[in-house]
């Protein structure tokens, strides 16, 4: 039995298989219409996320399965002080697979450790949201025919944008990828992404501030929302939110083969007039999100059937209990009796929190 | 492909067909138990309305289909600033048909314009709520055997009561209808209903203030709730809320063949002691609401299958962009980059907002 | 047609049958996978209770049925002032069976009186929560092989803990039960439970304050949560909440055959380190909750099919209308035009409210 907490849990080969299964579902939907009959997906959404929740729900329904769950924390036992672990242990009795969304970094791992069924991380705070990245990848796969030899622009909030960090990580495993990182200085790609992913994997990249000047080179333009909730200073938000808006005018300079992606919801960073342009792939992207989730549910249920024993989620022998995670958004220290736990990273002498993966 | 935004979107013939389908469903439920197998209804409720939502849900389930959605805006992406248009474009990837409820006038049209699947307006602000009217009509049809030659009393809040305006419009297309409009002076039927519907269609009507004096003449008594949320002045609400309460005593003067309708929920405008009277048809009315929604879902899905192309929702050639809608509840001007749009009415020189239909 | 409002509505024989059906479901799940095909359960949760709601939902789904409803009052018509009675009358048109959760004592009876389908009380205020007791009983039945000859410890909040009162009542009908009531003085078992259930049925019992000193004698240890919401004085809560915490250390003194139950959610009254002990039965208890609810749904639907007429819920001939219920949590007096009603108890000259069962 396996869970999906982070996109890097999947090998390049597994990603390829998921994309192929998704494409087969698209071609032959009837073949899969009863694949999960009698199975139940629990959607445990401790914070609202309509799109993601409905995508999982539609995915399970199109596989012939049932869906139960909650859409925000006020409807859940957590309002009475229950831990994520306990909720997941209980829900393991009610469902065959769990999709969890939670505002705290590391909640996905906590859920997978507690549950007796496969867990899909549907977004845990700023940490990871692997099914969004899967949707992005299937869109690139279907729109471009593969993952190699692409110039990918990432535009907007690259500092807090979890989706672009994950996509960078995912693309770092393919060949001849060039990144064009387009953002205001205040929202540049963080150093650890530059150093630990981009440079380490010898990806070509440049950091620029103008969308207009750089759009002509791109095969993929990944737009992101400048999220109000990420800003402490609301004035700074107001000043920046209108930068980097994609308009019909700016799009005139782009290639015909450009494809525009966006994790949605958008506020105003893409003009609605762009929607009718065939290069706008962001609504197709949500459709791809449903199909790749179908493929993922099928895969995890098949693995669980084959071997009900849980694969280890971290190396228990290497855990250090003497370090404290200082990430205020991390779930460690909140769950009942959950110790802070750290494991070594690839860098000598460095350790990371097993939950939120922040380095010490 | 067609959507249902307003009751007047349906011809008299189509209404008749829907009523007949509903009656056939009532007689032969098993015949329809798998009619929507593999289909999904999305219930997008941006404001809570349990009865309507559960009615749609039960309807789809009794057709063998699945239901997904949300029951209030806090659980939806709109909390992150997403437009109704974008939500509906995305949800078109997850469902085969959409029922939308929204506090803003005109949200039904916005949804239908954006979605790639049929949209049913399940109530948009003060504008329209056509499936309530369909439930009313099926109740009249089943209780009275048809729509002609009826004296219909409408009692309570006729000023703000959206349901009585729509029912008046719907009944204006039948023969020999007499309306008895029973309300306090403060809550009289608005002039535009009197002039543009009642007088224009040469319906007989009278405006009175006493329920007790007029109940004896009625074939149908349509009671309405005096809604707290419609009043700016809460004292006025307190003074009026107990007027026009239907009691066992007042009912003694009515015909045996009278039928009492109410859109529900009621607060206290009908005594619960009236519930056991066979003339009380308001709980049967909610049952009829389910059946007519089943008929409607079947019809719209059949039309979409026959012709996936959307029928135009307004005459694009006649639109004026220079007028601004002044209705503070109207959705125009709220959605991203949605222009104010006006089209001509039947009255020469008059224009109405395409969303909320208010005249300029 | 019958409803389940309180655990004492079920005879010892009926309880036995339910446990046997549940065990048969566990052994032969496929036999029951389509038992409720085409049927709908409405989960009307006027206050959130994730575990109970999802348990009912999973139960109905595993029987092949559908589920609709709401998970909190803000999503329901009650926000517009609708009575529980009206909601249940309407929902009877949408579902074949209702599970209702409500903060007011007596709401279960109000629902059962109004609905035209069987009603299951899924918790009405402090009054009753019979399916929790059914889950407790099935757990005892499966872990211990029967209900007689057991020493049962009840620990924690025995004053406000509805579950322990109901379990006491249920166990009072079996042979040779010894109760060990473990609580701080402030949260002792109430006098009416001691007098009207324990003493009246000649059960052996003792009241003690130390968990550690008494754990060695127990066959069953029923732990309860000290609920913040039951305390007016938050300081008292803080002082008491850590009393009576079950730890691995205390457990060392217990029998190997002890079984630990807990209604969940827990806050910190059982250390998570106890979870891996085979004596910890509380997560299995939630699984049993699902199975016994499946058995109950089957039973009530079968009874409704056999005889659609409602069995009387109280003795109408013996009702007194002149007494007023003084329980501030009771639903009487809140519902539209619901009179206060009292019926005689077994004790001469004593009367109880038909809704909340408090004595006058």
* Tens of pLDDT, residues A284-300: 999 999 999 999 999 99
Return left, alpha or beta for B118; rule: phi > 0 is left, psi -120 to 50 is alpha, else beta. beta
User: What secondary structure letter does DSSP report for C349?
Assistant: T
Instruction: Give the contacts of C150 (CB within 8 A, at least 6 positions apart).
Output: C140, C144, C171, C174, C176, C177, C178, C219, C220
Joined together, the tokens standing for residue B333 give 């001007």
| DSSP structure class, residue B324 | -
pLDDT at B251 exceeding the cut of 80: yes
DSSP assignment of B233-250: -HHHHHHHTTTT-B-HHH
What integer pLDDT is reported at residue C166 of this predicted model?
94
Cβ contact A181:A154 at 8 Å: yes
Q: Is the Cβ–Cβ distance between A41 and A99 less than 8 Å?
A: yes
C-alpha–C-alpha distance, residues C50 and C72, integer Å:
10
Provide Rg for chain C, Cα atoms: 20
Query: What pLDDT does residue C346 have?
Result: 86
Q: What is the per-residue pLDDT for C80?
A: 60
Sign of dihedral through CA atoms A211, A215, A219, A223?
Answer: positive
CA distance A337 to chain C (A): 7
- Is B129 catalytic? The answer is yes
Give the helix/strand (H/E) hosting B266. none
Closest CA to A95 of C287, B294, B290, C321: C287
pLDDT value of position A335? 80
Distance, CA of B99 to CA of B97 (rounded, Å): 7
The CA-atom distances, in angstroms, between B359 and each of B108, B349, B351 are: 18, 11, 6
pLDDT averaged per 10 residues in sequence order, chain A, 360 residues? 96 97 98 98 95 97 98 66 92 98 96 97 95 98 97 94 94 97 91 95 96 96 82 77 85 97 91 96 98 98 97 94 93 82 92 93
Window C:59-98, CB contacts with B under 8 Å: 66, 68-70, 74-77, 79-83, 85-87, 89-91, 93-95
Distance from C-alpha of C264 to C-alpha of A35, rounded to nearest angstrom: 34
Tell me what pLDDT residue C142 has.
98
**Active-site residue, B279 included:** no
SS3 C308: coil
8 Å CB contact of C283 and A89: yes
C338 φ/ψ sector (left φ>0, alpha ψ -120 to 50, else beta): beta
A80 labelled catalytic: yes
Q: Which residues of A54-65 are buried (b: 16+ CB within 10 A; e: fewer)?
A: bbbbbbbbbbbb
**Cross-chain Cβ contact A266/B86 below 8 Å:** yes
- The pLDDT tens digits for B118-173 are 999 999 999 999 999 999 999 999 999 999 999 999 999 999 888 999 999 999 99
CB C332 within 8 A of CB C341: yes
Q: Are A40 and A332 in contact (CB under 8 A)?
A: no
- Does B35 lie at the interface with C, CB-CB under 8 angstroms? no
Q: What pLDDT is recorded for position B360?
A: 85
Indicate if the pLDDT at residue B253 is higher than 60: yes
Distance CA B163, CA B7 (A): 11
Residues 6+ apart with CB under 8 A from C330: C104, C105, C106, C353, C355, C356, C358
CATH number corresponding to A131-286:
3.40.50.1370
Say what the pLDDT of residue B235 is. 84
Residue B82: pLDDT band (50, 70, 90) is: confident
- Inter-axis angle of helices B84-91 and B107-114, nearest 10: 40
CB contact under 8 A, A54 and B38: no
Domain B318-360 has CATH 2.30.30: yes
- Can you name the CATH fold of B7-129+287-306? Rossmann fold (3.40.50)
Cα–Cα distances in angstroms (integers) from residue A325 to residues A27, A343, B76, in the given order: 47, 12, 32
C131-285 in CATH: which number?
3.40.50.1370
Are B7-129+287-306 and B131-284 the same fold in CATH? yes
* Active-site pick, A20, A31, A34, A51: A51
Contacts of A32 in chain B (CB under 8 A): none
One of B2, B40, B101, B340 is an active-site residue; which one?
A: B101
Interface contact B266-C80, CB threshold 8 A: no
Question: Nearest residue on chain B to A53, judged by CA atoms?
Answer: B69
Cα–Cα distance for residue pair A303/A288, rounded to 1 Å: 22
CATH architecture classification, B131-284: 3-Layer(aba) Sandwich (3.40)
Separation CA A63–CA A267 (nearest Å): 32
Q: From A148, A143, A343, select the one nearest A255 (Cα to Cα).
A: A143
Q: Is A202 one of the annotated active-site residues of the chain?
A: no
All structural domains of chain A with their residue ranges:
7-129+287-306, 131-286, 314-360
Q: Could you tell me which residues come within 8 angstroms of residue C251 by beta carbon, excluding any fewer than 6 positions away?
A: C215, C258, C274, C277, C279
Q: How many residues does the structure list for chain B? A: 360
Per the CB < 8 A criterion, the answer to whether C302 and C148 are in contact is no
Helix ranges restricted to H, B121-161: 130-144
Q: Which residues contact B70 (CB under 8 A, 6 or more apart)?
A: A50, A54, A71, B43, B44, B45, B76
Contact between B209 and B185 under an 8 Å Cβ cutoff? The reply is yes
Whether A239 is a known active-site residue: answer: no
Closest CB to B51 among C66, C77, C81: C77
Low-confidence ranges of chain C (pLDDT < 50): none
CB-based contact C57 A74, cutoff 8 Å: no
Q: Is the CB of residue B65 less than 8 Å from the CB of residue B36?
A: yes
Instruction: Give the burial string for A130-161 (b: 16+ CB within 10 Å, else e).
Output: bbbbbbbbbbbbbbbeebeebbbbbbbbbbbb
Residue C294: closest CA among C87, C104, C23: C23
Of A33, A54, A275, the CB nearest to B38: A33
pLDDT of B225 strictly over 90: no
Note the CATH architecture for domain C7-128+287-306.
Answer: 3-Layer(aba) Sandwich (3.40)
Q: How far apart are CA C297 and CA A282, in angstroms?
A: 45
State the DSSP code for C335.
Answer: S
Q: Do B271 and C337 touch (CB under 8 A)?
A: yes
Indicate if the pLDDT at residue B230 is higher than 70: no
**Could C68 and B58 be called an inter-chain contact, meaning their C-beta atoms sit closer than 8 Å?**
yes
Alpha-carbon distance A176 to nearest alpha carbon in chain B (angstroms) = 32
Whether C12 and C201 have beta carbons less than 8 Å apart is answered as no
Mean pLDDT, residues B15-42: 98
How wide is the angle at C-alpha C269 spanned by C-alphas C265 and C274, nearest 5°? 95
Residue (of A310, A257, A245) closest to A2 by Cα position: A310
Collapsing DSSP states into helix, strand and coil, what is residue A283? helix
| B248-270 average pLDDT score | 94
At a CB cut-off of 8 Å and minimum separation 6, what does A15 contact? A134, A137, A170
Distance from C-alpha of A126 to C-alpha of A139, rounded to nearest angstrom: 23
Instruction: Please give the Cα distance from A139 to A166 (Å, whole number).
Output: 15
- The rounded radius of gyration (Å) of the Cα atoms in chain B is 20
- Do B274 and B248 contact (CB within 8 A), yes or no? yes
Neighbours of B49 (CB within 10 A): 24
Whole-number pLDDT of residue A26? 98
Nearest to C265 among A66, A81, A95 (CB): A81
């Amino acid at each position: 039995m396996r869970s999906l907490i982070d996109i890097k849990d999947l090998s390049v080969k597994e990603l390829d298989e998921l994309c192929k299964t998704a494409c087969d579902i698209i071609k032959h939907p009837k073949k899969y219409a009863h694949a999960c009959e009698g199975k139940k997906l629990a959607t445990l959404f401790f914070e609202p996320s309509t799109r993601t929740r409905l995508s999982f729900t539609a995915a399970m329904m199109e596989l012939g399965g049932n869906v139960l769950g909650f859409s925000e924390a006020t409807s859940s036992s957590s309002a009475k002080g229950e831990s994520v672990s306990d909720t997941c242990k209980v829900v393991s009795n009610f469902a065959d697979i769990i999709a969890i969304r939670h505002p705290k970094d590391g909640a996905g791992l906590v859920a997978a450790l507690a549950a007796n069924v496969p867990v899909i991380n549907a977004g845990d705070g700023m940490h990871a949201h692997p099914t969004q990245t899967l949707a992005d990848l299937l869109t690139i796969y279907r729109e471009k025919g593969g993952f190699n030899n692409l110039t990918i622009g990432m535009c907007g909030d690259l500092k807090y944008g979890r989706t672009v960090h994950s996509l960078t990580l995912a693309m770092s495993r393919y060949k001849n990828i060039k990144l064009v990182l387009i953002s205001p200085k205040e929202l540049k790609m963080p150093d650890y992404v530059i150093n630990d992913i981009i440079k380490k994997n010898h990806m070509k990249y440049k950091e620029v501030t103008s969308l207009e000047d750089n759009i002509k080179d791109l095969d993929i333009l990944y737009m992101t929302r400048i999220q109000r909730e990420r800003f402490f200073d609301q004035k700074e938000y107001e000043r920046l939110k209108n930068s980097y808006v994609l308009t019909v005018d700016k799009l005139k300079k782009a290639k015909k083969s450009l494809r525009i992606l966006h994790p949605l919801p958008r506020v105003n960073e893409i003009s609605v007039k762009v929607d009718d342009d065939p290069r706008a792939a962001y609504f197709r992207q949500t459709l791809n999100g449903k199909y790749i989730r179908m493929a993922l549910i099928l895969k995890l249920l098949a693995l669980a059937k084959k071997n009900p024993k849980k694969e280890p989620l971290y190396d228990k022998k290497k855990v250090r209990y003497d370090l404290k995670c200082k990430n205020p958004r991390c779930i460690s220290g909140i769950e009942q009796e959950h110790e802070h736990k750290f494991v070594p990273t690839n860098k000598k002498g460095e350790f990371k929190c097993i939950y939120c993966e922040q380095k010490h």
